[in-house]
Structure 1
Amino acid sequence: MPRWSVYDGEEHWRFMEKLEARIRNHDREIEKMCNFHFQGFVDSITELLKVRGEAQKLKIQVTDTNNKLQESGRELLTEMEELRKCRSQQRNIAATVDQLTLCLPVLEMYSKLREQLKTKRHYPALKTMEHMEHTFLPRVNPYRFCTVMVEDIPKLREEIKEVSMSDLKDFLESIRKHSDKIGETAMKQVSLLHHTDPIVHLR
C-alpha cells in the first residue's frame, strides 16, 4: 500500500502556504503584543519621570520645611533658655528679698543699740541686746554678720557693765567727797524749814 506524504505534489505547497500564513499571523500577534506592551512601557517611563519630578519637588519642599523647623527649633531653644534664666533670676531675687526682709530689722536694731551705747543709755541697750539675742539673731543665723554680732554682744554687755561700775564708783566717790557739804546743806534746809513752818512753831 503506497504512503501519502505532504511533501508530495501540490499538498506540499498548500502546506507551506498555510504554514507561512500561520507564521505571518503569529508575527502580527507578536508585533501587536510588542506594540501594546511597548506603549505601556513608554507610558510607565513617562509616569516614572513625572513621579521623579514630583518626588524631587517634594524633596526640596521637605528639605526647606526641615530647615525652617530646625531654625524655629533653635530659636525656640534659645527663647526657652532665656526664659529659664529669667525664672532663675526671679527666684534668686525673691529669695534675696525674703532674706533682706529678715536681715534689715536686725541691722536696724543693731544700729539702735550702737546709738544707745553712744548716748550711755545702758538699760535700754541691755534690753535691745536681749531682744536681739532671743528674737532676731536666730532668724539670720547662717549669715556672717550675724556671727559677728553674736560674738560682739557679750563684749558690749561687759563694756556696759564696766562703764556702769565706773559711773557708780564715780558717783559714790563724789558723794563721799561732798558728803560734809551735803550734810551741812541738808541741816540748813531743815533749820530753815523749822523756822518758817507754822506747824513747827505750834509744836
Structure 2
Amino acid sequence: MTIRYDRRQVKTKQQLLQALLTCIEQKGLDHVTVTDIANVADLNRGTFYLHYQDVRHMVQQIMNEKIDILTELIKQVDPYEHGQYADQNIPYPRIVAILEELSADRQFYTTILGSKGDPSYVLHLKKILTGALYNKFELHIPGTSSAPVPTHYLLAYMTSAAVGMIMYWLENNLPETPNEIGAMIMNIANHGLIVSSGIREKPQSHK
C-alpha cells in the first residue's frame, strides 16, 4: 500500500511540475497562480497544497532538490583526476555525469533560469556551484601568494563561464552531446581561452 501511495505521490508531483513549467512558459513565473497550475495539471487546489505552500515554495523546493543532486555530483570531481583525463584529451566522466543530469532536466533549467523564470535562481545556482567548487579546489590548490590568479577570482571566473556555457547549450536544444560539451569545458579549463579559440596553438609537450 505504501509503495503504491509513494508512486502516486511521485506521479502527482511530476504532473504539478510539468504544469508549472507550462504556465511559466505561457505567462512568466510572477503571474503564475496555484489555480493555473492545478487547472493545467487537471488536479484540484487541495492536491497542490498537500505538497506545497504556494508557487514560490514549489519552485524553491524543486530547485533545492536539483541543487542537492548537482552538489553531490560536484563533490565527486577530483581536480587531479580531471588533469589526468585532460592530458589524454578525454572528457572527464564526472563532468560528463553532471552534464547528463542537466540535459535530463533541460526543460526545468531553461524555464526556471530563463527570461520568464527568475534571474535570482541563476545567481543562487552560481553561488552554490562556487561554494561546492571552492570546497573541492581548496583541498588541492595551495593558494600561495605567488599564484598568478587568487583562488576566489579563479573560481568566480570558472563558475560564471561554465554556467553561461551550459545555459547556452541547454537553451539551444542540446546540439552537442554531454560528452562533447565536457570535452569543450575540459579544453578551456586546461588550455585557456586563447588556445581554445584557435588564436594561439596548443604548446607542444617536450618529452
TM-score bin, normalised by smaller chain? under 0.3
TM-score by length of 1: 0.23
Which structure has more relative contact order (CA 8 Å, sep 6+)? It is 2
Higher helix fraction: Structure 1 or Structure 2?
1
Normalized against structure 2, the TM-score is what? Answer: 0.23
Q: In terms of Rg, which structure is larger? A: 1
